[in-house]
Amino acid sequence: MLFRQKSGRKSDTLPWLILLCTCAGSAAPMLAPESAQAADSSSASASAGSGQMPSDDLQQGVSLYKKGDMKGSCEALQRAVSGNAKRNAMAHYYLANALAVLHRRAEARAEYELSYRLANSTQLKDLAKRGITSLGGNVPQARSSTDVPRGRSGSDSAEASSTSSGTKRGFIGLRFINGNEVDQVVPGSPSAVAGVQPGDLFTAIDGRSTTGLDEGSVSDMTVGAAGTKMICEIERQGKRFKVTIQRAERVDFNKIAGVRAATPKTGDKLDASLITMLKQTGDTQQAYSQVLQGLSSIPHSVKEELARAGIKIIIAPSITDARPDLKGERPNGYVHGGSYENCPAMYAPDRNTLYIAERAQIGNNPRSFNTRIPEATLHELGHAYDFNRNIVSSQDFKQVYTQDMQHLSSSLRERYYYYTQEADEGHELFAELFATANGSHDEPGLARAFPRTFEFVRKSMQ
């Protein structure tokens, strides 16, 4: 996150929502109730009569959405889709919008997919499709709505959370890249206990093939309630076998062997010289180790240049512990309602300082250990490298950026809207491509979408 522009690192500005009509007094663009009914009146009438809102919960959910109360809207809409609006495409579409605004991306995508499958009108299908693609999903093939996975496995999350139906979502401790390839396994997690290793290929999950799916879709296939099991078909070095993974209810990092109990990385003297720990907490050593993990993947010459420029990295329990002047302020672009108290990381050019939060909170999810520290460190150091070199304002950068933008499809413009906002001028794109060039997998498709810009960023570090 770049403090100069007060924008969230992954703001998800919901580009598809700007295409919808805006209701009077609503806090965010949305599809008006009467328009939604017209778009899919058959699904609306399936519950409570043609032309009428099918339930009080649905009416309440829409009303709360218009007032900007996303948490209340979600709660009401979740009751609606769990009751007589279960097969109402419009209800699932509204719920997806609210979840997306709360930054609950995987759950939002699942609701968009369900709305897409249930919708009878081309208009509502198109809107749901825009939501799916904007969140990095693939438009589903037609099938029964009962087969739709709800929520995400928490494959890159420290703790389990709730699905949109309120069921406690299980934690498995996996992160995928390149579709079905395992990138990371959390030590001591259910996946580690089952023997899963980085580099394994998940060829099928509970009998469903993963062929041709991206990593987000594969991760979504692992969704399930805590305590339940899934059977995974794995390929490792040409050999195929099956493992059973039992989803855990929650994760306590203090009890996971090899995580906080392990000796943290010490890094080299240069890396250590860049870091200051504001104060010691139970999370500080693990956060310090993960910052060093991010730093270790950056070329030494780049780190030397940043050190000469006076870059500082401060690890703090939260951003506002290090910057109390930001308490109560909401970064521009944090559409999910977060504030600097929730922010996982930011770079402040005026102080040439990178701030890393030990704990972060996104939307309604509980504050938990910041599992994205290595990736966030790389992204924010990308901002530092950019501003200390004044790269994005150079004509060379503008040229390759413009060329890539001219070749970008409309769907990719929507998907990567955050990186192509005109007011940003390419700063967020440079930072994320810098992170990608140094091993981050947060946005695996970004380098392919901006090949000229990515090559420019990569060469800037040589």
| pLDDT score, position 25 | 31
pLDDT grade, residue 423 (50/70/90)? Answer: low
> Which of 14-28, 210-224, 240-254, 285-299 has the highest mean predicted lDDT (pLDDT)?
285-299
Q: Note the pTM of the prediction, 2 decimals.
A: 0.49
Q: Tell which wins on pLDDT, 409 or 185.
A: 409
CA 186, CA 253: separation in Å to the nearest integer? 10
- Kindly list the distances between the CA atom of residue 173 and the CA atoms of 1, 191, 278, 317, 412, in Å, as whole numbers in the listed order: 26, 6, 29, 23, 29
pLDDT of residue 368: 83
Residue 112 reports pLDDT greater than 70: yes
* Count of residues making up the chain: 462
pLDDT at 434 > cutoff 80 = yes
Can you tell me the mean pLDDT for 31-38?
40
In this structure, what DSSP letter does residue 222 have?
T
Q: How many CB atoms lie within 10 A of CB 45?
A: 15
Structure tokens at 236: 């490792």
| Distance (Å, whole) CA 403 – CA 401 | 5
pLDDT in the model for residue 101:
81
Q: Which of 139-148, 399-408, 419-428 has the lowest mean pLDDT?
A: 139-148
How distant, in Å, are the alpha carbons of 135, 191, 418, 449 from that of 410?
14, 38, 14, 12
What is the rounded average pLDDT of the residues 406-435?
A: 83
pLDDT tens digits, 372-402: 899 999 999 999 999 999 999 999 999 999 9
Secondary structure (DSSP) of 168-187:
BBPB--EEEETTTEEEEE-T
Q: What is the pLDDT of residue 2?
A: 65
Q: How confident is the model at residue 338 (pLDDT cuts 50, 70, 90)?
A: low
> What CATH architecture is 174-251?
Roll (2.30)
Q: Give the pLDDT confidence of 63-93 residue by residue, as tens digits.
A: 887 777 888 888 888 888 877 787 788 888 8
Whether the predicted pLDDT of 119 surpasses 50: yes
Q: Break the chain into its structural domains and give their ranges.
A: 14-142, 174-251, 254-389, 395-460
* Residue 149: pLDDT over 50: no
* Per-residue pLDDT tens over the stretch 287-322: 998 899 889 889 999 999 999 999 999 999 999 999
14-32 average pLDDT score? 33
| DSSP per-residue letters across 79-108 | HHHHTTTTT-HHHHHHHHHHHHHTT-HHHH
**Candidate CATH numbers 2.60.40.650, 1.25.40.10, 1.20.120.640, 3.40.50.300; the one for domain 14-142:** 1.25.40.10
